[in-house]
């Protein structure tokens, strides 16, 4: 009888790997790039919907006879809705496929955006912002699922770097576009513009996006095979939350929430911090202040994505072909330990204590850029790592990650302006840096003990043969 060491069994295992690799060759490289482009456009909307809202807060508060603190609740609620929406869309994308879910989500976003633009009271605005965020939330979770469908392990960091780079480019220009539109027209026009963008993405997906789910792997495929027809099936959108019982998933998700919070501490109150420091009241210019963070996100995401792929390949070669998923997390060190926390501290010092001269303003912009790059260094490898270890549930684990991360952010965002008003800019920014270091500590724990933790709770983790 053949043992595990016989050439026959090794040949069979090698054939399984070869057959598995063929799945990734369904689309040509150029078609894959087109898929990433369309998917990235969809993934931009969660960032765009939140980013374009930030410079609008003072104008909305004045128009609806409210305060900046109250209007900023729309940011927290939309983040919470984004978390719930990502879980819902991810669950259904695994059952019905990526394309149909994206179409439904973009239609929902368009309706929510139109309602937000037509809102006449704060409660109306909050309700429609929830609908808008719920619809927009498919972009990241389902988008990562699309990338996992079409790219191999050693290509995943680079492709996700391009994907997130495109998304974060949208984030970088969203406040500027929102601010320009609000200044020359109205904050309502920005919301109507998001409605049009949602409809445009719906049409692009309908016409140019193929179904990328692996053949025969969707729940609806198995349903048709069993019953001979497709039908509606109610799914538990919170089922993906169970993935957080794995310390690998929960620690990476928590780390991202704690580190990404530095971005929000810088951007959400920017009209009352950096803009006020340099006497800027024009909404268009306030929006433009967010661009350095977005540029840092773009560059950081692209560079760290390639770096994480290189580390995976080189470490696997050093181990004689043995793949250790945690190797990808080695790319997070500079961003999580240095760039993200120290940049927000430096910005706090400059904004509260330095003079308001041009050179200090430029130095503050450098801090914003470095923060964006540092956050991406945690964000990109962490997301790719989760897909690596749970490839068959890539959309679901990404949604669980987003839900955990967004709950952390949603809980904290509402306290940013009150904290600045009570404790000052420097104290608030420094506190977020300490929180970011705690977040990086979570990554270090997974990097050091990830293999053991995967053994504690086995979620059906991927192997080199089925990733």
φ, ψ at 247 (rounded to 5°)? -60, -30
Is residue 224 domain-resident?
no
Is residue 273 domain-resident?
yes
Is residue 346 domain-resident?
yes
pLDDT in tens, 345-380: 999 999 999 888 889 999 999 999 999 999 989 988
Let me know: does 249 contact 240? Beta carbons within 8 Å: no
The number of distinct structural domains making up the chain is: 1
The CA distance from 96 to 233, in Å, is 9
pLDDT of residue 16: 44
Stated as kind and residue range, the H or E segment containing 214 is none
pLDDT of residue 18: 47
Domain extent for 452: 32-205+239-456
pLDDT of residue 21: 65
Provide Rg for the chain, Cα atoms.
22
pTM above 0.75, yes or no: yes
CATH of the domain at 62: 1.20.1250.20
Q: Name, in order, each residue with C-beta under 8 angstroms of 130's C-beta and a sequence gap of 6 or more.
A: 77, 78, 80, 81, 112
**Alpha-carbon distance values, 317 to 148, 156, 310, 381 (Å):** 23, 18, 11, 19
pLDDT of residue 4: 41
Name the pLDDT band for 65 (thresholds 50, 70, 90). confident
Indicate if the pLDDT at residue 443 is higher than 90. Answer: yes
**Alpha-carbon distance values, 76 to 79, 106, 133, 268, 401 (Å):** 5, 21, 11, 10, 17
Is residue 217 domain-resident?
no
Residue 377 CB neighbour total at 10 angstroms: 30
Stated as kind and residue range, the H or E segment containing 258 is helix 247-267
Mean pLDDT across 399-427: 86
Q: Which of 48-62, 70-84, 132-146, 188-202 has the highest mean pLDDT?
A: 188-202
Provide, rounded to the nearest whole percent, the portion of the chain with pLDDT above 70: 93
pLDDT in tens, 317-330: 998 888 899 999 99
The tokens of 466 are what? 């089925």
The CA distance from 305 to 325, in Å, is 15
DSSP 274-290: HHHHTT---HHHHHHTT
DSSP 3-state assignment of 6? coil
Q: Number of C-alpha atoms within 13 angstroms, CB side, residue 62?
A: 7
The dihedral region occupied by 415, where left means phi > 0, alpha psi between -120 and 50, and beta the remainder, is alpha
Is residue 234 domain-resident?
no
Let me know: does 94 contact 395? Beta carbons within 8 Å: yes
Indicate the DSSP class of residue 462.
Answer: -
Mean pLDDT across 42-60: 76
DSSP 3-state assignment of 323? coil
pLDDT of residue 12: 45
Q: Which of 73-77, 218-222, 406-410, 441-445 has the highest mean pLDDT?
A: 441-445
Indicate if the pLDDT at residue 342 is higher than 80. Answer: yes
Let me know: does 307 contact 328? Beta carbons within 8 Å: no
Is residue 218 domain-resident?
no
Is residue 15 domain-resident?
no
Q: Where are the alpha helices (DSSP H) in 151-186?
A: 153-184
CA 323 to chain centre: 26
Q: What is the mean pLDDT of the chain?
A: 84
Least confident of 38-42, 212-216, 299-303, 438-442: 212-216
Least confident of 222-236, 416-430, 435-449: 222-236
| Residue that is written with structure tokens 């506190």 in the block | 431
Mean pLDDT across 289-299: 86
pLDDT of residue 394: 81
The CA distance from 267 to 257, in Å, is 15
Provide, rounded to the nearest whole percent, the portion of the chain with pLDDT above 90: 31
**Rounded-to-10 torsion of CA 400, 311, 21, 211:** 40
Is residue 402 domain-resident?
yes
Indicate the DSSP class of residue 154.
Answer: H
The CA distance from 182 to 62, in Å, is 13
The CA distance from 142 to 394, in Å, is 8
The CA distance from 368 to 289, in Å, is 9
């Amino acid at each position: 009888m053949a043992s595990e060491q016989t050439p026959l069994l090794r040949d069979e295992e090698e054939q399984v790997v070869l057959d598995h690799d063929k799945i990734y060759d369904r689309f040509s490289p150029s078609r894959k790039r087109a898929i990433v482009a369309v998917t990235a456009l969809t993934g931009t909307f969660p960032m765009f919907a939140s980013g374009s809202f930030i410079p609008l807060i003072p104008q909305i508060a004045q128009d609806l006879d409210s305060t900046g603190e109250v209007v900023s609740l729309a940011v927290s609620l939309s983040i919470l809705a984004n978390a719930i929406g990502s879980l819902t869309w991810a669950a259904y994308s695994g059952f019905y496929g990526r394309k149909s879910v994206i179409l439904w989500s973009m239609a929902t976003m368009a309706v929510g955006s139109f309602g937000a633009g037509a809102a006449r009271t704060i409660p109306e605005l909050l309700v429609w912002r929830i609908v808008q965020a719920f619809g927009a939330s498919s972009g990241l979770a389902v988008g990562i699922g699309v990338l996992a469908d079409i790219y191999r392990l050693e290509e995943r960091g680079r492709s996700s770097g391009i994907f997130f780079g495109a998304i974060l480019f949208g984030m970088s220009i969203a406040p500027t576009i929102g601010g320009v539109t609000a200044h020359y027209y109205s904050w309502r026009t920005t919301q109507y513009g998001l409605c049009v963008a949602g409809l445009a993405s719906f049409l692009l997906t309908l016409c140019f996006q193929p179904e990328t789910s692996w053949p025969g792997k969707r729940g609806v495929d198995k349903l048709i095979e069993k019953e001979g027809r497709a039908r509606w099936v109610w799914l538990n959108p919170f089922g993906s939350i169970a993935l957080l019982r794995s310390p690998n998933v929960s620690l990476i998700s928590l780390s991202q929430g704690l580190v990404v919070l530095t971005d929000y501490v810088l951007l959400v109150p920017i009209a009352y911090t950096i803009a006020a420091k340099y006497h800027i009241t024009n909404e268009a210019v306030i929006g433009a202040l967010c661009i350095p963070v977005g540029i840092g996100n773009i560059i950081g995401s692209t560079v760290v994505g390639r770096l994480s792929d290189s580390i995976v390949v080189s470490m696997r070669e050093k181990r004689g072909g043995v793949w250790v998923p945690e190797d990808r997390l080695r790319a997070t060190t500079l961003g999580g330990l240095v760039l993200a926390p120290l940049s927000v501290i430096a910005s706090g010092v400059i904004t509260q204590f330095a003079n308001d001269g041009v050179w200090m303003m430029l130095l503050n912009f450098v801090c914003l850029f470095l923060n964006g790059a540092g956050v991406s260094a945690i964000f990109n490898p962490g997301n790719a790592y989760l897909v690596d270890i749970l490839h068959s549930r890539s959309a679901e684990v990404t949604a669980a990650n987003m839900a955990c991360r967004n709950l952390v952010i949603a809980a904290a965002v509402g306290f940013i302006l009150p904290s600045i008003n009570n404790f000052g800019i420097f104290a608030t920014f420094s506190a977020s840096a300490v929180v970011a270091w705690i977040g990086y500590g979570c990554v270090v724990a997974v990097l050091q003990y990830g293999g053991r933790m995967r053994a504690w709770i086995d979620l059906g983790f991927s192997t080199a043969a089925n990733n």
